[in-house]
A and B are shown apart, each in its own frame.
Chain A
Amino acid sequence: MIKEITAILILFPFLAALCCYVFRFSTVRSIIVLTTGGVLAASAIFLIPMTPFSIAAPALPGPGIHGIIQILDFLLLFIILYFGFKHHSLVIIALAAFQIVLLAYFEFFLISGEAAVTTIYCDYLSLIMVLIISIVGSIICFQALPYMKNHETNLQLTKTGQHRFFFVMILFLGAMNGLVLSNDMLIFYFFFEVTTLCSFLLIGHDQTETAIKNALRALWMNSLGGAAFIVALMGIYHETATLELQRILISGTPAAGVYLLSLALLCFAAFTKSAQFPFQSWLLGAMVAPTPVSALLHSSTMVKVGVYLVLRLAPVMANTFLSQCLACFGAFTFLSAAALAVGQSNGKKVLAYSTISNLGLIFACAGLNTPESILAAILLIIFHAVIKALLFLCVGTIEQHIVSRDIEDMRGLYATMPLTALITVMGVIMMIMPPFGVLLSKWMAMEAAARNLYAIVMIALGSALTVMYWARWAGTLMSDPFAGRFKPESQPILTWGALGSLCAGAGILSISAPWLYRAMLVPALGKAYLPPFTANNGILENVTGAFAVFPLSLVAAVGFIIAVWAVKRAAGARIVMPYLSGVQTTESAVFTGPMNRPVKAEAKNYYLSSIFGENRLTAWINLVAGVLLTLMVGGAL
């Protein structure tokens, strides 16, 4: 049974993706996408009671599983090479060629015998990832169905590219499932490269000049990560004589030497995937793609590969200089990405920087390497995935309606799109306020970081900046003019379904955090970390602190109900014009100016671009990040 479900999780998407590509009718495509999503989500849930488990390499006829992966690996690299030649990108050609040569040398000359016996290994960390990928990823694909229809109508395309689009989207989910379930590092590497290729194809989907340019940038940056990965694999094999992830993890903590360097290179690869500074530009460029792509890349796939990889390796890195560097680097990214987000008025860019920032915090937690911080990291992965998917889908929906992604253009959105605006505000609130999950993990992260001076100062500053850019956005959405009675706008049922389920899901997950902690997170910490909290009566508590999840949620719910009741009552109150020094007219935001002429009063948000602007900060941040990276890799030597 386990084998079948695992096979479904990994292989079924590949099959469905092919069907999407072959059968180019929109009804058939919708059915395939919906079925795949349903099947994936169901299989992921079926996996829960079976975890943990491992599966040995199946005895396949012919070349066997290793042979097949080998062939596919080279095929993949040659495809990347092809794209390098097609777009005349020397970097991509060089990196692909480098990987081909290295992989060939590694596979045919270095590896002797069976390097990995157990192909699949699933513990609770993998399970959590599979659940995120299969459920959140599927919801994003569902929403993509109506979105892409609108998208192509708006672009007035004569030939549809949807078969290509959904081919890659669904393939992506399969590759991600394969990645988090594989125990054989070579298979991991294969799926690692598949996600690189998939994101390249998705970013370039619209085939405009910018799209192609940004897609190529994503490809070379991630190929750099791939190259680092393969070098690291060779180093690890040289030291431990195994390529099994689980065997590597029990091989003890490396003091120095090739092993530690390899781990540093793996961290490097993770940084490219997770778009940490100085590799952030590929993720920022990815927003040229249709919004579901961003939602997928930012929440449940791609960028989560990096943090997953580092979290996996965290136990081996405990008490090393590498781990300290990682904490510093992550905290720095958390701070600087938040600073850059403050300077942005482009909604998608704010979301992108927020993703980079949160991933930085996850890396910092992995680097702090205490039970609390690792727990915080896992929680953050879960909640960030759900809420970021929600916010991207919201922005996508808003963008198709108002034809802009600028926060200034969303002023007073509540008047025209009340329900979407409300859901977006809910998403924002869940990002920054207790008792919701993101803040719960931030609380844990801060308490864990308190013993690390660098990390805590940067995290404290970063989290204040975070509050600033989110609060500003939420306020802007709720701005005047007052809309009168609440009447939800009309949207396709799949859109409402996706937004509603993600929003409700995030809320329910937040409330059930103590239960989640006992059922999944403690087992996910594994043997390397002791459970850091006790969870009694819904209160997570230890010697240093306490977070009363249930009581606070209850009180917050009561407060919320009272506030909603206040809104209902206020609807009967006298609605007046905003204060304009006593010369306001009967029209909102218009006052009587000189010569009795009406003048429109306007106020825009502070974006403080003289301090937090991209052209002001990016170069410096890249420089510092580069220095920290060098320190990290060099320190491992």
Chain B
Amino acid sequence: MMSNTVLVISGLVAGPLLGGLISGLDRILTARLQSRIGPPVLQPFYDVIKLLGKEKMVVNVWQAFCAYCYIAAASISLVMFFLRSDLLLILFIQAVGAVFLVIGALSSTSPFSQIGAHRELLQILSYEPLLVLVTVGIYLETGSFKIATVYSWSEPLLLKLPFLYLVLGYALTIKLRKSPFDLSTSHHAHQELVKGLLTDYSGPFLALAEIGHWFEIVLLLGFCSLFWATNWVGMMILVAVTYFLEVLIDNVSARMNWRWMLGYVWAMGLSLSLVNLIWLYAG
């Protein structure tokens, strides 16, 4: 019971701390790739603290509701991950947050928010099935959906599920709002969509959305870590390399449209998953 409390608290603390730090590193790395120096590593924290101190302004009170629900779901899903619970259930809870963020954006009539929200729904539509299939792959290999079992598995999953790790990469790119999939909103200004999904979130509510996003980053990197769960060094290297590749892809690719995203991600993601899953069924 005691250790569970520790895990819950560490999940709640690690989410924003690690997530913010990773965002800071991301910005520096991106800047270096573009021959800039970039902001200090703690800049994301300064931004969020500033946002939290701003005046509360809403277009519709439901935005406040949705922002809180988003951060609640994102933090619960990370805590569940720390508690080594059921992977599929964690996915579902994470989806709750994503959906609330969309509902909040839809509660404004601004076309920027509306279109951003619909694009976000398409993004969810693109990555959600892939994440489920990755989880299914993990289940087929380890015989359980529970993270506890995965962490006690004697062999790195990456060796058995290489294609599924690539599939997870697609989902990760979409979820981290990286090009070519940063359709609904992104870290950079969108000419055609302003801030898209997040256009009408402002002040403290935008800060909540940002912190929620940090939780999600940590959760997804946690997912990646499952693929080399046998020792810490391997895990760290895998996660670091993966994140570096994400930043690289972000910087070398242009933003595409949703038709391409849905078609490409489903086609590639499903074929890769199928091949890998068939191996597992046959094996």
Query: Chain A residues in contact with chain B, CB under 8 A?
Result: 412, 414, 432-434, 439, 443, 446-447, 450-451, 453, 456-457, 460-461, 463-465, 467-468, 471-472, 474-476, 478-482, 543-548, 552, 555, 559-560, 562-564, 566-567, 569-581, 588-589, 601-606
14 A-B residue contacts at CB 8 Å?
A412-B109, A446-B88, A450-B140, A450-B145, A460-B128, A475-B106, A475-B117, A480-B59, A567-B61, A570-B63, A574-B58, A578-B59, A579-B110, A606-B118
Chain B residues contacting A478 (CB-CB under 8 Å) are 60, 62, 103, 106-107
In the complex, number of A-B residue pairs with CB atoms less than 8 Å apart = 209
Q: How many residues of B contact A (CB 8 A)?
A: 67
**Counting CB contacts under 8 A, is B45 at the interface?**
no
Chain A residues contacting B108 (CB-CB under 8 Å) are 479-480, 578-579
Evaluate contact between A579 and B58: CB separation under 8 angstroms. Answer: no
Evaluate contact between B124 and A468: CB separation under 8 angstroms. Answer: yes
Decide: A576 near B278, CB < 8 A? Known: A467-B124, A475-B107, A546-B85: no
Chain B residues contacting A572 (CB-CB under 8 Å) are 56
Chain A residues contacting B73 (CB-CB under 8 Å) are 559
A611 vs B32: C-alpha distance in the bound complex, in angstroms? 41
**Counting CB contacts under 8 A, is B41 at the interface?**
no
Evaluate contact between B133 and A457: CB separation under 8 angstroms. Answer: yes
**Counting CB contacts under 8 A, is B64 at the interface?**
yes
Which residue of chain A is the closest to B93 with respect to CB atoms?
A: A434
Identify which of residues 238-256 in chain B touch chain A, using a CB-to-CB cut-off of 8 Å: none
- The one of B109, B112, B144 that contacts A544, using a Cβ cutoff of 8 Å: B144
Evaluate contact between A573 and B56: CB separation under 8 angstroms. Answer: yes
- The one of A434, A443, A603 that contacts B111, using a Cβ cutoff of 8 Å: A603
Identify which of residues 34-57 in chain B touch chain A, using a CB-to-CB cut-off of 8 Å: 55-57
Chain B residues contacting A559 (CB-CB under 8 Å) are 68-69, 72-73, 76
Chain B residues contacting A577 (CB-CB under 8 Å) are 59
Evaluate contact between A439 and B92: CB separation under 8 angstroms. Answer: yes
Evaluate contact between A480 and B92: CB separation under 8 angstroms. Answer: no
Evaluate contact between A472 and B122: CB separation under 8 angstroms. Answer: no
A526 vs B89: C-alpha distance in the bound complex, in angstroms? 27
Return B95 CB to nearest CB of chain A, in Å: 6
Evaluate contact between A606 and B121: CB separation under 8 angstroms. Answer: yes
Evaluate contact between A601 and B110: CB separation under 8 angstroms. Answer: yes
User: Given A576-B59, A604-B114, 4 other A-B contacts at CB below 8 A?
Assistant: A453-B277, A468-B121, A567-B64, A573-B58
A581 vs B190: C-alpha distance in the bound complex, in angstroms? 13
Decide: A460 near B133, CB < 8 A? Known: A472-B118, A546-B89: yes
Chain B residues contacting A548 (CB-CB under 8 Å) are 85, 89
Chain A residues contacting B274 (CB-CB under 8 Å) are 453, 457
Identify which of residues 115-142 in chain B touch chain A, using a CB-to-CB cut-off of 8 Å: 115, 117-118, 121-122, 124-125, 128-129, 132-133, 136, 139-140
Evaluate contact between A479 and B96: CB separation under 8 angstroms. Answer: no
- The one of A414, A476, A579 that contacts B194, using a Cβ cutoff of 8 Å: A579
Which residue of chain B is the closest to A459 with respect to CB atoms?
A: B132
Evaluate contact between A472 and B69: CB separation under 8 angstroms. Answer: no
Evaluate contact between A472 and B88: CB separation under 8 angstroms. Answer: no
Evaluate contact between A475 and B128: CB separation under 8 angstroms. Answer: no
A604 vs B111: C-alpha distance in the bound complex, in angstroms? 8
Which residue of chain A is the closest to B128 with respect to CB atoms?
A: A464
Decide: A579 near B113, CB < 8 A? Known: A478-B62, A544-B143: yes
Evaluate contact between A464 and B125: CB separation under 8 angstroms. Answer: yes
Chain A residues contacting B92 (CB-CB under 8 Å) are 433-434, 439, 443
A571 vs B62: C-alpha distance in the bound complex, in angstroms? 10
Chain B residues contacting A439 (CB-CB under 8 Å) are 92
A476 vs B140: C-alpha distance in the bound complex, in angstroms? 39
Decide: A578 near B89, CB < 8 A? Known: A480-B59, A567-B65: no
Which residue of chain A is the closest to B270 with respect to CB atoms?
A: A457
Chain B residues contacting A560 (CB-CB under 8 Å) are 69
Decide: A570 near B128, CB < 8 A? Known: A479-B108, A601-B109, A605-B118: no
Evaluate contact between A588 and B64: CB separation under 8 angstroms. Answer: no
Evaluate contact between A475 and B68: CB separation under 8 angstroms. Answer: no
Return A331 CB to nearest CB of chain B, in Å: 13
- The one of A450, A471, A589, A606 that contacts B99, using a Cβ cutoff of 8 Å: A471
Evaluate contact between A601 and B88: CB separation under 8 angstroms. Answer: no
Interface string of B77-115 (1 = CB under 8 A from A): 000000001101100110110010011011111111111
Chain A residues contacting B124 (CB-CB under 8 Å) are 464, 467-468
Return A483 CB to nearest CB of chain B, in Å: 9
Decide: A479 near B139, CB < 8 A? Known: A471-B99, A547-B86: no
- The one of B55, B64, B125, B136 that contacts A465, using a Cβ cutoff of 8 Å: B125
A432 vs B118: C-alpha distance in the bound complex, in angstroms? 17
Return B268 CB to nearest CB of chain A, in Å: 14
Decide: A480 near B109, CB < 8 A? Known: A468-B125, A562-B68, A566-B65: yes
Which residue of chain A is the closest to B112 with respect to CB atoms?
A: A579
